[in-house]
Amino acid sequence: MTNAPVYDAAKHRITSLVEGRDPQTPVAATPGWSVKDVVAHLAGGLRDFVDRRFDGVESGEWGERQVRDRRANTLSDAFAEWDANLELARPLFDTPMGPVLVSEVIAHEHDLRAALGVPGDRGGTDVRAALVRPLQQLDQRMRENDVPALRIALEHGDRVLGHGDPAGTLRTTSFELMRAIGGRRSVDQIKALDWDGDPDVWISSLALFGRHRAEPFEE
């Protein structure tokens, strides 16, 4: 599965999902943001990818800046910018950035779905595609920091992160893993998953953006 069609399909689903909805609907998965803000972030984020502007990604300021700079824009403005920036970003889909863009749009699709009460497909290939780059990043981080290897058992197979024999196992679904490592689950929620071994060994490593959610989030 190539990246551009996955991204385009997600963008189409998001467009259909929010059409006719209140753009100011709060999105609990991204505290302080509305539906309009999430779309504005997706639009602005694409331009930052094109410009290679990634300052503030781990602190969260990267996304906050994009939303803050577009507070006065309408939802229509956000979609128009998203269309324009997507054309600029087309060449990125055939680079290592492609899976990152897929991960970003799929995560925010489910943020919007949770806010609007319209669950989507949580077990399909799109969610698995959204895990490709994050799992590579986590594997690299664990190896660099000598974190004991962890086996992750998903519905479509196992994956070992880190170097050497796994010292523990996490059994979960692709969707829950995507939400956990993407900052949409609290530490307590992650610890409550099906673990063999002490989850505290791996909790900090599983925070893709350097932090887990402070409060539990159910969807």
Q: Which of 50-59, 97-106, 199-208 has the lowest mean pLDDT?
A: 50-59
What mean pLDDT do residues 139-165 have?
96
CB 127 within 8 A of CB 174: yes
Mean pLDDT of 139-158: 96
Kindly state the average pLDDT of the residues 77-95.
Answer: 97
Q: Is pLDDT at 11 greater than 70 in this prediction? A: yes
Instruction: Compute the half-sphere exposure of residue 39: CA atoms within 13 Å on the CB side of its CA.
Output: 30
Q: Which of 49-53, 56-60, 118-122, 130-134 comes out lowest in average pLDDT?
A: 56-60
Number of helical (H) and strand (E) elements in the chain, helices listed first? 8, 4
pLDDT at 64 over 80: yes
Whether residue 173 is predicted with pLDDT greater than 60 in this model: the reply is yes
**Which amino acid is present at 89?**
A
SS3 74: coil
Residue 1: band (very low, low, confident or very high) from pLDDT cuts 50, 70, 90 = low
- Amino acid 85: pLDDT: 97
User: Is 90 exceeded by the pLDDT of residue 58?
Assistant: no
Please report, rounded to a whole number, the percentage of residues in the chain having pLDDT higher than 90.
94
Q: Is 80 helix (H, G, I), strand (E, B) or coil?
A: helix
pLDDT (mean) for 51-58 = 88
What pLDDT, on a 0 to 100 scale, did the predictor assign at position 148?
Answer: 97
Does residue 80 surpass a pLDDT of 70? yes
Q: How confident is the model at residue 14 (pLDDT cuts 50, 70, 90)?
A: very high
Task: List the one residue out of 215, 116, 134, 119 whose CA is nearest residue 174.
Answer: 134
Ramachandran assignment for 185, one of left (phi > 0), alpha (psi -120 to 50 degrees), beta (any other): beta
User: Across the chain, what does the average pLDDT equal?
Assistant: 95
Lowest mean pLDDT among 46-60, 118-132, 183-197: 46-60
Q: What is residue 37's three-state secondary structure?
A: helix
Tokens of 170: 């996490």
